Amino acid sequence: MANPQVKNGYTTIANEIIEAVAGFDFSKRELKILLIVIRETYGYQRKSKEILRELLVKKTGIDVAHVSRTISALASKNVLFREKSELGINKDYEQWKLAETANSNRLKQPIEKESRVVQNSQEKLAETANSNRLKQPIPFNNVLKKPLKKKENNAHARVDSGSQNLKQPRKKAPDAIDALPDKPEGFDLIDRFVKYRKEIGKPFKSIDSIKTFHRKLGDAARDYNHAKELIETSIANGWQGVIFNKKF
């Protein structure tokens, strides 16, 4: 059975400091460390003292890693001070930052909580409004009638103005030059190249394009044999077109 006696040792400390300690929201670890620092300093009539971490671990039961962090936290709040390797308590408790921080946080919590509630409510209202807006049926006139009417007017405007931009439908290209009404000179070479283009998946798009190709070949070739050479060179190399050399 414990039977502490003053004659076995006591700590002289001002009542005001005890009341200040009781009035602040120290964490459990901070309060344990602070009490041992008071015991090791004021208990020996000293303002500061070198206190080993091992002693703090033994007296408080706190892990050594947490001991170091707790001392640093108390020092940052001006509750403890360091002098070289010694620790001491700052008896000017009005300089302790813990009260200001704790009271400030305690006052801010309801305001911040209320602000979050208002913000969440506003976000939900916005989401509901957007959802309802998406669900509303779109007027038929806005979707179909107006665009169709506008497009129709544009078509009439182009026809009435006599625009030349309207493209005439192309005549389908023949599979071979035999389909041409008039057989041009050297048509066998043209016919061969037309069939070759179809085989490689690059057919001529119209009769006019075949006529244009024949004209360019006739302008570039010196004679039939030269034209034949140009055609055969393109087919042998897998070319889509013919490289027309200048006439000599």
Is residue 160 helix, strand or coil? helix
Please give the pLDDT value at position 192. 85
Task: Give kind and range of the element (H or E) at residue 87.
Answer: strand 86-89
Whether the pLDDT of residue 150 is over 60: the answer is no
Note whether 71 and 33 are within 8 A (CB): yes
Residue among 140, 36, 134, 130 nearest 89 (CA): 36
Dihedral angle sign, alpha carbons of residues 45, 50, 52, 53: positive
The answer to whether 173 touches 215, Cβ cutoff 8 Å, is no
Cα separation, 176 vs 195, in Å, equals 6
| Per-residue pLDDT reduced to its tens digit, 67-124 | 999 999 999 999 999 988 899 999 999 999 854 454 455 545 555 555 666 677 677 7
Q: Which helix (H) or strand (E) holds 151?
A: helix 146-160
The residue type at 34: L
State residue 231's pLDDT score. Answer: 86
**204-238 pLDDT tens trace:** 888 888 888 888 877 777 788 888 888 888 888 88
Q: Identify which of 202, 207, 195 has the alpha carbon closest to the alpha carbon of residue 231.
A: 195
**What is the distance between the alpha carbons of residues 59 and 13, in angstroms, rounded to a whole number?**
20
Sign of CA pseudo-dihedral 122, 124, 127, 129: negative
Domain 9-98: CATH class, spelled out = mainly alpha
Residue 66: band (very low, low, confident or very high) from pLDDT cuts 50, 70, 90: very high
Please compute the mean of the pLDDT values over residues 117-137 and round it to a whole number. Answer: 66
Dihedral pair phi/psi, residue 48, rounded to 5°: -150, 160
Strands 86-89 and 48-49, bridge-based pairing = antiparallel
Where are the chain's structural domains? Answer: 9-98, 177-237
Give DSSP secondary structure letters for 189-213. Answer: HHHHHHHHHHHTT---S-HHHHHHH
Q: Which is it for strands 86-89 and 80-83: parallel, antiparallel or unpaired?
A: antiparallel
Do residues 55 and 37 touch, judged by C-beta distance below 8 A? Answer: no
Which single residue is written with the structure tokens 């192309």?
Answer: 170
Q: Is the pLDDT of residue 7 over 90?
A: no
